[in-house]
C-alpha cells in the first residue's frame, strides 16, 4: 500500500531523515520507533505533505505522492493523528468528526449546504466511528471539555471520519495512563478488523510490541533495524540506540 524509497529530508545543515526505505502492506500494523530526534515525526510529516522531501519517493499504491499538499494526501486516503492534541475545542465531538468527514468530500455543494442536510449514510458513519472510539455518549459535548484520554480517542475518531485506507498514529499513547493504553491497544487492533492499515509511531514499547506485525527502528535519521517485534528487541543496534551512550539527534 505504502512504499517509502530512499526518503531524505534536511533542515539547513541538519540531516533529519536519510535514505529511509519502508514498505507497508494492506491491513498491516507497522511500528516505527526510535529515540527522540530520530526522524519518526519527520517521516509522518513527509508522508502527509507537511514537508516536501529533498530526495526519494513516497508511493501510495502505485502513485508517487511526494510533495503533495496535505489536502491531496488526505483525499488519496491517508489520515493522521498528532503528538500534541489538535482538536477544534469550541466544536462538539460530533462536529469535529463532521469537519473531518467533509475535508475529504468531493461534493460540489458548499459546507453550509452539507451542514444543513447531513445525509443518513454520513450520520451513520459518524455514529459508528463514535461508538468504535467509545465516544457515543459524548457526541454533544465540546471537545475542550473532554478528559485527556477522551480527547486522545477523539483525535483517532476524527482521523477515521475521513475514511482513510492508511492511518498514521503519531505517539497516540503520549500522556495516557495504563488503563487508557490498554484501551488504545484494543482500538488499534480493531482498526485492522475494520480493514485499515496502520503505521504506529510510539515511544511506549509494550504497546508497539503488542500490536505491530513488523517494527522499523530509526536512529539519527536512518533506519537501523526492521523485522518482527521479537527480532527487533534482540537487535544489538536497537539496544545501543536506546540504552547506549551514543549522542542523541
Given CATH 3.40.1080.10, say whether it is the number of domain 26-51+65-243.
no
pLDDT of residue 184: 95
Supply the pTM of this predicted model. 0.88
How big is the CA angle at 168 (ends 6 and 75), to the nearest 5 degrees? 90
Q: What is the pLDDT of residue 109?
A: 46
The three-state secondary structure class of 189 is helix
- Three-state DSSP at 201 gives strand
Residues contacting 177, CB < 8 A, separation 6+: 149
Residue 159 has pLDDT above 80, yes or no: yes
Interval 196-224: pLDDT, tens? 999 999 989 999 999 999 999 999 999 99
d(CA 66, CA 177): 36
Return the SS3 of 13.
coil
**And the C-alpha cell for 75?**
483525499
Q: What percent of the chain has pLDDT over 90?
A: 77
**How does pLDDT run across 104-134, given as a tens digit for each residue?**
554 444 555 554 445 667 788 899 999 999 9
Contact 177, 209 (CB under 8 A): no
DSSP per residue, 47-99: HTTSS--SEEEEEETTEE-TT--HHHHHHHTEEE--SS----TTSBHHHHHHH
pLDDT tens readout for residues 49-67: 999 999 999 999 989 999 9
- Mean pLDDT, rounded, of the chain: 90
- For the stretch 64-71, contacts whose Cβ atoms lie closer than 8 Å and that sit 24 or more positions apart, written own/partner, are 66/7, 71/103
pLDDT recorded at residue 248: 39
Q: Provide the pLDDT confidence category of residue 88 given band limits of 50, 70 and 90.
A: very high
Backbone dihedral angles phi then psi of residue 46, each to the nearest 5 degrees: -70, -45
Q: Which three cell numbers stand for residue 216?
A: 522499523
52, 66 in Cβ contact below 8 A?
yes
Q: Mean pLDDT check: name the lowest of 1-5, 94-98, 106-110, 133-137.
A: 106-110
Average pLDDT of the residues in 121-150: 92
Least confidently predicted of 44-48, 98-102, 145-149: 98-102
Amino acid at each position: 500500500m505504502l512504499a517509502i524509497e530512499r526518503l531524505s529530508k534536511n533542515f539547513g545543515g541538519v540531516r533529519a531523515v536519510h535514505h529511509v526505505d519502508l514498505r507497508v502492506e494492506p491491513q498491516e500494523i507497522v511500528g516505527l520507533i526510535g529515540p527522540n530526534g530520530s526522524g519518526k515525526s519527520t517521516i509522518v510529516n513527509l508522508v502527509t505533505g507537511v514537508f516536501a522531501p529533498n530526495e526519494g519517493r513516497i508511493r501510495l499504491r502505485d502513485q508517487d505522492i511526494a510533495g503533495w499538499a496535505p489536502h491531496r494526501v488526505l483525499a488519496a486516503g491517508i489520515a493522521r493523528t498528532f503528538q500534541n492534541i489538535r482538536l477544534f475545542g469550541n466544536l462538539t465531538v460530533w462536529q469535529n468528526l463532521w469537519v473531518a468527514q467533509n475535508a475529504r468530500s468531493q461534493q460540489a455543494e458548499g459546507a453550509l449546504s452539507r451542514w444543513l442536510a447531513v445525509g443518513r449514510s454520513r450520520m451513520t458513519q459518524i455514529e459508528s466511528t463514535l461508538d468504535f472510539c467509545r465516544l457515543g455518549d459524548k457526541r454533544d459535548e465540546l471537545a475542550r471539555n473532554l478528559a485527556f484520554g477522551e480527547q486522545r480517542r477523539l483525535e483517532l475518531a476524527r482521523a477515521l471520519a475521513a475514511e482513510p485506507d492508511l492511518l498514521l498514529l503519531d505517539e497516540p499513547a503520549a500522556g495516557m495512563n495504563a488503563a487508557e493504553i490498554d484501551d488504545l491497544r484494543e482500538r488499534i487492533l480493531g482498526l485492522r478488523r475494520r480493514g485499515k492499515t496502520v503505521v504506529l509511531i510510539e515511544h511506549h514499547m509494550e504497546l508497539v510490541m503488542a500490536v505491530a506485525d513488523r517494527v522499523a527502528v530509526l536512529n539519527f535519521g536512518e533506519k537501523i533495524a526492521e523485522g518482527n517485534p521479537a527480532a527487533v528487541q534482540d537487535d544489538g543496534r536497537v539496544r545501543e540506540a536506546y540504552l547506549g551512550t551514543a549522542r542523541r539527534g
